[in-house]
């Protein structure tokens, strides 16, 4: 596959290694009901008492909708090659079907501004914000939603495909399907295990159908972003721990990778999830559709998972973010009593362990275990910490800085080991709405003052900029 520009419009040549930063529409845009945007499931979820910390909502978020020009200036100050953003389906098609021109125009202006300043737009179609109108017809449990997604992809491509080269169908379907439909901590807040499996399959189907359609329309760089982990048995000599790690690897990694890369659901996972109705969900031809060739795989990685096959009474949690999907008895991760012991490593403000070498392991393993995979991009990696502004107004976020730099070191080591990694996007450009945590957790390399919306590049952002500049010169900045 090539990166040749589409049609006659100028596009940017890809550098040998792409340095970027990422956000998502619902987390940064705000303007939640402006210019015709409809409710997404997250707007609706935010109205459920207790669903989001502090009763926070997405109405203003970090006002990116009105601040794209100055936010792009910050991206340029950082020296980014690429900006990974998502389009909001509910802004482009407020009821999930009819087109809102003003919504498309917003993204068209954003793309133009990025390209004018030399930044590559890296677009994700679905970063968790389904139009609420579609949720009211069953959301991702309804097979028809996959067809609506293809219409949305086609509409968005018709407006932006002359300028956007990189099209990502989904971001982290594990989270939107499982945390949204089985665990209920994410929108739409359902707790129904069979519904979650339906959501998984229909998102896979939507990915495959949209990939094929985008390809027919002329897109040349199409991919998906998965959040992947290293599931490590707490005691490799204990069969219960080994089986628990197999199960976690199956549900968090292989359930998502294998239909896309190999055209089949992993047999052991199908067995683990028996009784949830996968056989009736999968129609003839679905798996071939889902396995439509892709041009890149986005890898999001924040932490590993140490896994035990024994219940944990200590209350410790090795930094796993899935919360209650592992409750005893759940066919997802609970049975027969899986726990995530602590490795006594440092933790971020999300209580996720810090173990940069895990990223190298993951990237190398992916290439070895799935030799037909296309090139990899680390499309998210970063850390939340409770930043405090210093008296001089600067943010000396030493922990986040070390986290990012150490992980980039591991990406370089993975490449030296033979992993085909072509880029790194830090999560996130800006502090933003961290889903059920509201604005409590700050992931940005740029601080946002939520009262004034003032932006301040943190020390981690300044160091990231130095690293990007040095890599272009073939050197390495001092630490
Ligand atoms: O903020 C999220 C993002 O939306 C998806 N990946 C993980 C990030 C941190 O939790």
Domain range list for the chain: 18-230+256-302+345-471
pLDDT of residue 316: 53
pLDDT of residue 12: 76
Show the ligand 1 pocket: residues with CB < 6 angstroms: 24, 27, 172, 300, 380, 427, 434, 443
- Whats the size of the chain, residue-wise? 479
Burial of 311 (0-12, 13-18, 19+ CB in 10 A): exposed
Confidence of residue 329 (pLDDT cuts 50, 70, 90): low
Residue 215: asked if its preceding bond is cis (omega within 30°), the reply is no
pLDDT of residue 15: 82
Confidence of residue 82 (pLDDT cuts 50, 70, 90): very high
**Antiparallel, parallel or unpaired: β 446-448 and 455-457:** antiparallel
Structure confidence by residue, pLDDT tens digits, 262-301: 999 999 999 999 999 999 999 999 999 999 999 999 999 9
Two tokens, residue 440: 């409590």
378, pLDDT greater than 70: yes
Neighbouring C-beta atoms of residue 2, cutoff 10 Å: 7
Question: Which of 49-58, 226-235, 315-324, 459-468 is predicted with the least confidence, judged by mean pLDDT?
Answer: 315-324
Number of the ligand 1 atom closest to the C-alpha atom of 382: 9
Confidence of residue 477 (pLDDT cuts 50, 70, 90): confident
User: Alpha-carbon distance 306 to 235, whole Å?
Assistant: 9
CA of 417 to the centre of ligand 1 (A): 27
pLDDT of residue 335: 55
pLDDT of residue 2: 29
Burial of 242 (0-12, 13-18, 19+ CB in 10 A): middle
CA of 108 to the centre of ligand 1 (A): 25
pLDDT of residue 113: 98
User: Alpha-carbon distance 479 to 472, whole Å?
Assistant: 17
pLDDT of residue 324: 41
Number of the ligand 1 atom closest to the C-alpha atom of 380: 6
Span 380-404, average pLDDT = 97
pLDDT of residue 13: 78
For the chain, the average pLDDT equals: 93
Span 171-175, average pLDDT = 98
pLDDT of residue 8: 44
User: Alpha-carbon distance 85 to 166, whole Å?
Assistant: 11
Neighbouring C-beta atoms of residue 16, cutoff 10 Å: 8
Asked if 231 and 253 touch (Cβ cutoff 8 Å), the reply is yes
Confidence of residue 313 (pLDDT cuts 50, 70, 90): low
* Greatest pairwise CA separation for the chain in angstroms: 64
Helix (H) or strand (E) holding 456: strand 455-457
Fold classification of 18-230+256-302+345-471 (topology level): TIM Barrel (3.20.20)
How big is the CA angle at 91 (ends 90 and 94), to the nearest 5 degrees?
50
Structure confidence by residue, pLDDT tens digits, 120-157: 999 999 999 999 999 999 999 999 999 999 999 999 99
Structure confidence by residue, pLDDT tens digits, 189-210: 999 999 999 999 999 999 999 9
How big is the CA angle at 134 (ends 131 and 137), to the nearest 5 degrees?
155
Confidence of residue 336 (pLDDT cuts 50, 70, 90): low
Residue nearest to atom 9 of ligand 1 (CA): 434
169, pLDDT greater than 90: yes
Burial of 360 (0-12, 13-18, 19+ CB in 10 A): buried
pLDDT of residue 334: 60
Q: Which residues have C-beta within 8 Å of that of residue 404, sequence separation ≥ 6?
A: 381, 382, 383, 426, 445, 460, 463, 464
User: Token match 């004018």: residue?
Assistant: 116
pLDDT of residue 376: 98
Structure confidence by residue, pLDDT tens digits, 87-116: 999 999 999 999 999 999 999 999 999 999
pLDDT of residue 116: 98
29, pLDDT greater than 90: yes
Helix (H) or strand (E) holding 358: helix 357-369
User: Token match 């930043």: residue?
Assistant: 387
CA of 42 to the centre of ligand 1 (A): 14
Phi, psi of 451 (to 5 degrees): -80, -45
pLDDT of residue 321: 43
Two tokens, residue 376: 């990899």
Two tokens, residue 336: 């027969």
How big is the CA angle at 207 (ends 203 and 208), to the nearest 5 degrees?
120
Q: Which residues have C-beta within 8 Å of that of residue 282, sequence separation ≥ 6?
A: 201, 265
User: Alpha-carbon distance 319 to 343, whole Å?
Assistant: 9
């Amino acid at each position: 596959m090539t990166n040749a520009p589409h049609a006659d419009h100028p596009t940017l040549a890809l550098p040998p290694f792409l340095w970027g930063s990422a956000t998502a529409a619902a987390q940064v845009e705000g303007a939640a009901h402006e210019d015709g945007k409809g409710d997404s499931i997250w707007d609706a979820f935010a109205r459920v008492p207790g669903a989001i910390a502090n009763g926070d909502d997405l109405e203003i978020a970090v006002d990116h909708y009105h601040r794209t020009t100055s936010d792009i200036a910050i991206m340029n100050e950082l020296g980014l090659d690429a900006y990974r953003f998502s389009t909001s389906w509910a802004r482009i098609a407020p009821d999930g079907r009819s087109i809102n021109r003003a919504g498309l125009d917003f993204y068209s202006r954003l793309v133009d501004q990025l390209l004018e300043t030399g930044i590559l737009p890296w677009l994700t179609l679905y970063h968790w914000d389904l139009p609420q109108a579609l949720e009211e017809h069953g959301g991702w449990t309804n097979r028809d939603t996959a067809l609506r997604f293809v219409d949305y992809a086609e509409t968005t491509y018709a407006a932006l495909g002359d300028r956007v080269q990189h099209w990502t169908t989904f971001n982290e379907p594990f989270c939107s399907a499982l945390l949204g439909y089985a665990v209920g901590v994410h929108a739409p807040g359902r707790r129904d295990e069979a519904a979650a499996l339906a959501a998984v399959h229909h998102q896979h189907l939507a990915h495959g159908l949209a990939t094929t359609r985008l390809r027919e329309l002329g897109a040349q760089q199409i991919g998906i972003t998965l959040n992947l982990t290293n599931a490590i048995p707490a005691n490799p000599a204990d069969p219960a721990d080994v089986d628990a790690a197999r199960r976690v690897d199956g549900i968090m990694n292989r359930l998502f990778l294998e239909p896309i890369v190999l055209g089949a659901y992993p047999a052991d996972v199908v067995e683990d999830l028996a009784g949830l109705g996968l056989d009736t969900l999968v129609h003839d031809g679905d798996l071939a559709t889902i396995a439509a060739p892709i041009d890149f795989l986005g890898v999001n990685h924040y932490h590993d998972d140490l896994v035990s096959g024994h219940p944990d009474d200590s209350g410790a949690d090795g930094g796993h973010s899935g919360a209650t999907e592992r409750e005893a008895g759940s066919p997802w991760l609970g049975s027969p009593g899986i726990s995530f012991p602590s490795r006594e490593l440092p933790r971020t403000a999300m209580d996720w362990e810090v173990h940069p070498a895990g990223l190298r392991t993951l990237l190398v393993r992916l290439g070895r275990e799935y030799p037909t995979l296309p090139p990899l991009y680390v499309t998210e990696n970063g850390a939340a910490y409770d930043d405090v502004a210093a008296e001089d107004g600067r943010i000396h976020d030493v922990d986040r800085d070390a986290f990012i730099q150490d992980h980039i070191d591991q990406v370089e080591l993975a490449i030296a080991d033979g992993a085909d990694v072509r880029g790194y996007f830090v999560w996130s450009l800006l502090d933003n709405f961290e889903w059920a945590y509201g604005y409590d957790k700050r992931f940005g390399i740029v601080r946002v003052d939520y009262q004034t919306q003032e932006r301040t590049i943190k020390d981690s952002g300044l160091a990231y900029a130095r690293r990007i500049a040095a890599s272009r010169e073939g050197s390495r900045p001092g630490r």
